Amino acid sequence: MSDVTGEDRHSRTSLMVRLWEARWYLLAGLAAVTVAYGFGPGRAWALPVAVLLLFAALFSAKPRAVRIAEKAGEVEAEGLQRLSGEYLAAAVADPLIIFDRSTTVVHANAAAFVAFGGMSPGLSLPLKFRAPEMQALLDSVVSGKIASDELDYLEKLPVERVYRVSASSVGHGTDLFVLVFKDQSEARRIDRMRADFIANASHELRTPLASISGFIETLRGPARNDPAAREQFLQIMQNQTSRMARLIDDLLSLSRLEMKPYLKAGARVDLRQTLESVIDSLGPLARDSNLVVERDFAEGQFAVPGDRDELFQVFENLLENACKYGQSGGRVSVSVAPGGTVAEPTVDVTIRDFGPGIPEEHIPRITERFYRVDVETSRAQKGTGLGLSIVKHILTRHNARMSIRSELGKGAAFTVHLPAN
């Protein structure tokens, strides 16, 4: 169905009214002609005909379409009169500021108050937005050089945000103008993350490839006939290819998780059994690291909705990290217990190591892709920098969250809070 604008409706109403008026004038004219020329011998019929034509002109009903169109026009006009600019501004979700020709604020909606604060009527916009590009935008619109314009504007306080700002005049002859701020911060953040991800992934793949290429060149040259060197270089090349394979596997895992953001309903996972399987699978790593894995499971059954393979991957990643980076503590603790509130019960799984711990400034960023607290240590432990990012994505799919506590010299504790229902 095509949209009909108010202007179209007014045009149609005017046309129908004009047609009805033309009909009225025609009947009245015929009555007048009949009166003027109809009298004479044998023309007694003229007077009754003229009266009938006059009555038809005076009392003919307007067509139903005309009445409906006129009524719609009246309702629309009355509604628009009641609908003030303040109501329209309040209905806009983005920050919106109405100002006059002196660039003084006339009105600002609630979103503008939240974004910029103190946007009271009478405020001078050039004093509020001092950036040269904003000054130029205001000048160009107020001066009438252009009817509308837009630009990108960076607001640094209270938090850094990027807006796409559009400015335009309001109506004709009102001497009012409007600024609309479209927040682009999230889109810019995603673009930056994508660019960082590509750069980091390329770097992580380039390093082992450069190493393998160098060793191949050496084996074909100086070490061609050196069995000991050949064996050493081949072992290093194997380690580097394994590192690339792990990185590609983790990248594929992340891609799969992002392609299926919603979890299938219905399945439940026995956390006690899942954690036992994870501990058994990482038993050789714990023994090689001279670590003892301690169990601290509360009484009862702990079943939560979720995907067993994905939750296995979560706890495997966390326990593997605890074994690799906390081996100096001599032990790792795995505990499971009920948590949350009566209204929103959870099952909390905590994996804690007693190693060197994580500096506090790193904790907020530790789940970012390729973020490492210590790059050299992470690579020495064959880490890809994607494990905790995978954990975060899986927990998001399970409507769960993870909290991290750490104290330097006393280890780190990663707690997964899974909804019980």
pLDDT of residue 247: 80
Q: Name the domain boundary from 214, 234, 259.
A: 259
Inform me whether the pLDDT recorded for 414 exceeds 90. yes
Q: Are residues 90 and 78 in the same domain?
A: no
How many Å apart are CA 129 and CA 179, to the nearest integer?
12
pLDDT of residue 70: 55
pLDDT confidence bin for 18, thresholds 50/70/90: low
Model pLDDT for residues 19-51, shown as the tens digit of each residue: 555 555 555 555 555 555 555 555 555 555 555
Q: Are residues 25 and 58 in the same domain?
A: yes
pLDDT of residue 2: 44
pLDDT of residue 417: 92
Q: Is residue 253 part of a domain?
A: yes
Listed ranges 54-63, 80-89, 234-243, 374-383; the one with the highest mean pLDDT: 234-243
Inform me whether the pLDDT recorded for 373 exceeds 50. yes
In three-state secondary structure terms, 72 is helix
Q: Is residue 1 part of a domain?
A: no
Are 185 and 161 in contact by the 8 Å Cβ rule? The answer is yes
Model pLDDT for residues 80-125, shown as the tens digit of each residue: 455 566 777 777 888 999 899 899 998 888 888 888 887 888 888 9
pLDDT of residue 80: 46
Q: Are residues 146 and 202 in the same domain?
A: no
Q: What number of other Cβ atoms are within 10 A of residue 391's Cβ? A: 22
Listed ranges 99-108, 259-268, 379-388; the one with the highest mean pLDDT: 99-108
**Which residues span the domain enclosing 61?**
6-82
Are 351 and 310 in contact by the 8 Å Cβ rule? The answer is no
Q: Are residues 274 and 402 in the same domain?
A: yes
In three-state secondary structure terms, 43 is coil
Q: Are residues 255 and 315 in the same domain?
A: no
pLDDT of residue 416: 92
pLDDT of residue 415: 92
How many Å apart are CA 96 and CA 102, to the nearest integer?
17
- Can you give the CATH number for the domain in which 215 is found? 1.10.287.130
Q: Are residues 411 and 312 in the same domain?
A: yes
Q: Give, to the nearest 10 degrees, the angle between helix 227-259 and helix 185-220.
A: 160
Model pLDDT for residues 223-248, shown as the tens digit of each residue: 778 888 888 888 888 888 887 887 88
pLDDT confidence bin for 3, thresholds 50/70/90: very low
Whole-number mean pLDDT of the chain? 77
Q: Is residue 141 part of a domain?
A: yes
How many Å apart are CA 384 and CA 320, to the nearest integer?
13
Residues 6+ apart with CB under 8 A from 307: 263, 264, 267, 269, 397, 398
Q: Name the domain boundary from 242, 259, 276.
A: 259
Inform me whether the pLDDT recorded for 201 exceeds 80. no
Which of 39, 38, 34 lies closest to 50 in space, CA to CA? 34
Q: Are residues 313 and 397 in the same domain?
A: yes
pLDDT confidence bin for 350, thresholds 50/70/90: very high
> Which of the 8 DSSP states describes residue 226?
-
pLDDT of residue 1: 42
Q: Name the domain boundary from 61, 82, 103.
A: 82
Weakest-pLDDT range from 64-73, 183-192, 329-338: 64-73
- Can you give the CATH number for the domain in which 173 is found? 3.30.450.20
Counted domains in the chain: 4
Q: Are residues 62 and 96 in the same domain?
A: no
Weakest-pLDDT range from 13-17, 154-158, 183-187, 238-242: 13-17
Q: Are residues 159 and 201 in the same domain?
A: no
Q: Are residues 345 and 284 in the same domain?
A: yes
322-351 mean pLDDT? 86
Q: Are residues 216 and 348 in the same domain?
A: no
Residues 6+ apart with CB under 8 A from 39: 46, 47
Inform me whether the pLDDT recorded for 202 exceeds 50. yes
